[in-house]
A and B are shown apart, each in its own frame.
Chain A
Amino acid sequence: MAAPPPANLGDCLGDEVTIFRAFAEKSYRHRKKRVVRYFAYLLRDEDVADGLSVGLSPRAAVRYLRTNEGYCQILVGAIHRLPYGLQVRIDLADPDHAFICNLPLLSSSDEARERAIQIGNELARKSDLVTCDPYIPPDA
């Protein structure tokens, strides 16, 4: 039987919504080529319970980071349309925050590794890079 979803996950966002993914590290984007890299969409050990953190605004995307190296944006529909069962679900504790759920954890198995890198590359290709410079929200 599948485990119940974590309590802080709400409904799926609509396909027409744009979400924002902050670059926690420089490796998440390529400044010279101005492209997003798969690292931006790799699940970390600490993300397993909920999913990959995204914001419904640039401000929300960087809120939980001490520093950032810019951010990108992507349409929720582009994620839902991929054939991997991914879902973008609202964070019940923060209506300006969401999670990309059902991403495989790279280190859990070889099959998960292959799928994680494949999905990471596809999401990176579908993302629009907004800035490679640290984003500091106005009046922050």
Chain B
Amino acid sequence: MSSTPYPIGTIRQYTASVPREPAELFPDSIKAALDRIEALSNNARDGEARPSADNIEWAKRVLLRVLPRHYLLGAEIDAFQREIHVNWEHGTKRVTVFLPEANQLKIYYECITEQGIDHHLRPRANDPWEVSGVLRWLFE
């Protein structure tokens, strides 16, 4: 007689529900953009400046900390020389997250008002959690 109160076959391995790669936690659009930047970097021509593998990993780490996760759905990710830029727009507001190199994070945000364009740069926003705070301002 079994000593467990449930059939042993109903228990699935815990690891089966844990994503093997962080990228699996991203929306398809974000994963596709990161894959595209990775491909650009891998196929860079001689002398062409492209984001390093370390910077791409850093971008993934930063974006994984964006909460709530649905903020990522409107993000556009592009490479500019060695940098990765992530952009959001909502109404008259715009946020650009700069990832110049691994472990560097700068956040630019602007709002078009009747008086002109109100803009700011957080040059040393190296805590990835700050991105969520600025995105809350964007979507409020």
Contact = CB atoms under 8 A, between A and B. Distances in A.
A134 to B, nearest CB: 18
A44 B78 contact: no
A103 interface: no
Interface residues of A, number: 14
Contacts of B78: 27, 39
B108 A44 contact: no
B contact patch SS: strand
Contacts of A118: 110, 117, 119
A121 B85 CA distance: 14
Interface string A26-65: 0100000000000100101100000000000000000000
A53 B81 CA distance: 17
Nearest to B123: A110
A113 B80 contact: no
Most buried by B among A39, A114, A122: A114
Contact of B108 (A27, A113, A122): A113
A8 interface: no
Interface string A103-140: 00011001001100110011000000000000000000
Contacts of A42: 80
Interface stretch (B9-17, B24-32, B59-67, B94-102): B94-102
A45 B108 contact: no
Interface string B116-137: 0101110100000000000000
Interface of A: 27, 39, 42, 44-45, 106-107, 110, 113-114, 117-118, 121-122
Interface of B: 49, 78-81, 83, 85, 94, 96, 98, 100, 106, 108, 110, 117, 119-121, 123
16 contacts: A27-B79, A27-B80, A42-B80, A45-B49, A106-B80, A107-B100, A110-B106, A113-B106, A113-B121, A114-B120, A114-B121, A117-B108, A118-B110, A118-B117, A121-B94, A122-B117
